[in-house]
Amino acid sequence: MTNSFDVKVEPRVEPKDEVKFSHEANRFNSYYAFVEEQLAHLSEPLKNKARREILLELSKEVAKIEEERRDISRVSNE
């Protein structure tokens, strides 16, 4: 975990799984709320199309990140 000064800060107590899930859910909800706010002015068919495009782009980015992680892992194992 880092603070606003990018200094590594270790938690004093290991968070319980439900706390981790809650934090992740809150972060997801804030991303979702931001996207929905940006799409609010569109008609429903256009919102649906935009959501599909956003998900497609996200999946492409995730694939890139996973490939980079595999490359790093492969290099570190050599």
Average model confidence (pLDDT) for the chain? 81
In a domain, 53, yes or no: yes
In a domain, 42, yes or no: yes
In a domain, 37, yes or no: yes
pLDDT of the residue at 20: 63
Residue pLDDT, tens place only, 21-59: 677 778 778 888 889 999 999 999 999 999 999 999 999
Assess whether pLDDT exceeds 80 at residue 15. Answer: no
DSSP the chain: -B-TT--B---SSPPPHHHHHHHHHHHHHHHHHHHHHHHTTS-HHHHHHHHHHHHHHHHHHHHHHHHHHHHHHHHHH-
pLDDT of the residue at 3: 46
In a domain, 9, yes or no: no
In a domain, 3, yes or no: no
In a domain, 12, yes or no: no
The domain containing residue 63 runs over which residues?
A: 17-77
With CA atoms as reference, report the closest residue to 11 among 28, 26, 23, 25. Answer: 23
Q: 50: buried, middle or exposed (CB in 10 Å: 19+, 13-18, 0-12)?
A: middle
pLDDT of the residue at 45: 96
pTM: 0.57
Domain count, the chain: 1
